């Protein structure tokens, strides 16, 4: 299969901020706590950690985690710890993951998202002594299934046309 190879333009910091706020808004929706609804902030953080590790790092992941902690009314630092670890691991493997096609990238992202959920469940278990059940881990599977769609959407503003029109400036 001959697929086009795109030359990506530099990403706008404004677009990164809008995508992170959009993911946060998706987590704010009432269906955000239903079974199988992924953590969109974690998904977007791992995406930008892999594609733009110098622009979206551990500090932004920590800040987004604190925002999610306040929203969820959880122990302050639970999501911040999980997102920081997620961002660190995504930055660690970003060079290797970018060599693979999108579906193989999803297989590399799955353990990161699963580990993030394990950290959140472990903190909740230590603090409250309750285990939410194994069904909660379906969120990671759904997030990995959404990885190709998220990749397509978040890379769309950076793509240049394969057949360049010389009457357009870019």
User: Over the stretch 78-100, which tens digit does the pLDDT of each residue have?
Assistant: 999 999 999 999 999 999 999 99
Give strand pairing partners of 159: 8
Specify whether the CB–CB gap between 86 and 61 falls below 8 A.
Answer: yes
Q: CA-CA distance, 59 to 36, in Å (whole number)?
A: 28
| pLDDT grade for 58, boundaries at 50, 70 and 90 | very high
Q: How many CB atoms lie within 10 A of CB 89?
A: 17
Across all residues in the chain, what is the average pLDDT? 89
| pTM of the model as a whole | 0.87
Coil, strand or helix: which one is 93? helix
pLDDT at 2: 47
pLDDT at 102: 93
């Amino acid at each position: 299969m001959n697929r086009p190879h795109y030359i990506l333009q530099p990403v706008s910091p404004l677009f990164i901020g809008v995508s992170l706020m959009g993911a946060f808004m998706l987590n704010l929706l009432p269906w955000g706590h239903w079974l199988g609804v992924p953590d969109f902030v974690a998904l977007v953080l791992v995406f930008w950690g892999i594609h733009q590790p110098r622009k979206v790092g551990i500090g932004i992941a920590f800040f987004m985690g604190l925002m999610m902690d306040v929203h969820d009314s959880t122990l302050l630092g639970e999501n911040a710890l999980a997102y920081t670890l997620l961002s660190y691991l995504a930055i660690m493997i970003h060079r290797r993951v970018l060599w693979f096609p999108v579906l193989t990238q999803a297989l590399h992202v799955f353990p990161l998202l699963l580990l993030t959920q394990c950290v959140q469940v472990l903190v909740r278990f230590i603090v409250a002594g309750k285990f939410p059940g194994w069904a909660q881990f379906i969120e990671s599977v759904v997030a990995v299934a959404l990885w190709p769609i998220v990749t397509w959407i978040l890379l769309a503003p950076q793509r240049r046309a394969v057949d360049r029109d010389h009457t357009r400036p870019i």
